Amino acid sequence: MSGITDFLTGPWEHLFMQRAFAVAVMCGIVSGVVGSHVVLRGMAFIGDAVSHSVFPGVAIAFVLHVNLVLGGAVAGLLTALAVAVFSQNRRLKEDSVIGVFFAAAFGLGIVILSTAPGYSGSLESFLFGQILGISDGDVLTVAVTGLVLLAVAAAVHKELVTVSLDRETARAAGLPVFALDIVLYALVTVTVVISLQAVGNILVLALLITPAACARLLTDRIGVMMLLAPAVGAGSAVVGLYLSYAYNLAAGGLIVLVVTAVFVLCWVFAPRHGLLAAGRRRRSRGRTGAPPESAPVRPAAAEAPARTPAG
């Protein structure tokens, strides 16, 4: 019994672990909320694109000896704005435009860094995360930024859901679709930037997408999904940090592995949409001869507002 107690309380005796837990939980919550909109929109690729598009900003900040996170945020927001603008041409699908700009941004970052010798060690924390080395200032920055992100996401929640469900209907109802695109891209960009210290540039997509994907398997209700996703993200971050402390392994990688394990469990055992549930339905239909059932889309009426054009 004492061994379990030591395992649970041991990490909290260290200030660096307390900071790590605080940042990990906050990043897990924010990523879960913002990631839910990304998964609903079917644009998971944007998380990967943004995580790479911050690279040239970080490279420029490194060369100029300024704050790396600030440089990454500026570059990510500019790339997100470019994607939003070019995606308005419906001849091109959104993922195609994202692919163009994320590759260009990453290429630009490589070119810039090639002019600055000795950069690899300094950028290790950016690529792989350094959650155990964050400062009190970092915790405060993540807390304030996270609260702002959650407030913005709550303010435009219904509008973002409406655009995700039916873009053309949202436009016909008078919603500012282009502005909402920019808001969503900005939310994703800032979420990625504040999560870099937790899991790093390479793994940040998992923290943004996987908790929301778990929630999508567990519920048909968008409101419930918005609660489950941050719970999965924050819980996985805490478990990952405990394992990192106990076994002296990379914290960012373990956080990602834990949330991926949760996804696999949801994929198998989800009560309605899991593998086992689907097998039971197939066996039941085989016995009764009933036709296959369709998967309904059931957003709450209050979550998908119908608006009429002004004037």
Tokens at 47, concatenated:
């998380």
Q: What domains can you pick out in the chain, each with its CATH number?
A: 2-288 (1.10.3470.10)
- What number of other Cβ atoms are within 10 A of residue 87's Cβ? 20
Q: What integer pLDDT is reported at residue 172 of this predicted model? A: 92
Q: What integer pLDDT is reported at residue 87 of this predicted model? A: 77
Computed over every residue of the chain, the mean pLDDT equals: 83
- What number of other Cβ atoms are within 10 A of residue 189's Cβ? 28
Q: What integer pLDDT is reported at residue 98 of this predicted model? A: 75
Separation CA 211–CA 228 (nearest Å): 8
| 152 or 67, higher pLDDT | 152
Structure pTM?
A: 0.82
Q: Looking up tokens 């260290």, which residue turns up?
A: 14
Question: pLDDT (tens digit, 9 = 90+) per residue, 179-213?
Answer: 998 899 889 988 988 888 778 777 788 899 999 99
Instruction: Provide the sign of the torsion angle of the four alpha carbons 81, 86, 88, 92, taken in this order.
Output: negative
Statement: residue 311 has pLDDT above 60: no
| 298 or 64, higher pLDDT | 64
Q: What integer pLDDT is reported at residue 203 of this predicted model? A: 79
Statement: residue 25 has pLDDT above 70: yes
Q: What integer pLDDT is reported at residue 85 of this predicted model? A: 83
Question: pLDDT (tens digit, 9 = 90+) per residue, 279-290?
Answer: 888 888 877 765
| 60 or 128, higher pLDDT | 60
Separation CA 77–CA 245 (nearest Å): 34
Least confident of 56-70, 188-202, 223-237: 56-70
Question: pLDDT (tens digit, 9 = 90+) per residue, 248-262?
Answer: 988 888 999 999 999
Reduce the secondary structure of the chain to three states and give it as a string.
Answer: CHHHHHHHHHHHHCHHHHHHHHHHHHHHHHHHHHHHHHHHHCCCHHHHHHHHHHHHHHHHHHHHCCCHHHHHHHHHHHHHHHHHHHCCCCCCCHHHHHHHHHHHHHHHHHHHHCCCCCCCCCCHHHHHCCHHHCCHHHHHHHHHHHHHHHHHHHHCHHHHHHHHHCHHHHHHCCCCHHHHHHHHHHHHHHHHHHHHHHHHHHHHHHHHHHHHHHHHHHCCCHHHHHHHHHHHHHHHHHHHHHHHHHHCCCHHHHHHHHHHHHHHHHHHHCCCCCHHHHHHHHHHHHHHCCCCCCCCCCCCHHHCCCCCCCC
Q: What integer pLDDT is reported at residue 197 of this predicted model? A: 74
Q: Position 90: which residue type?
A: R
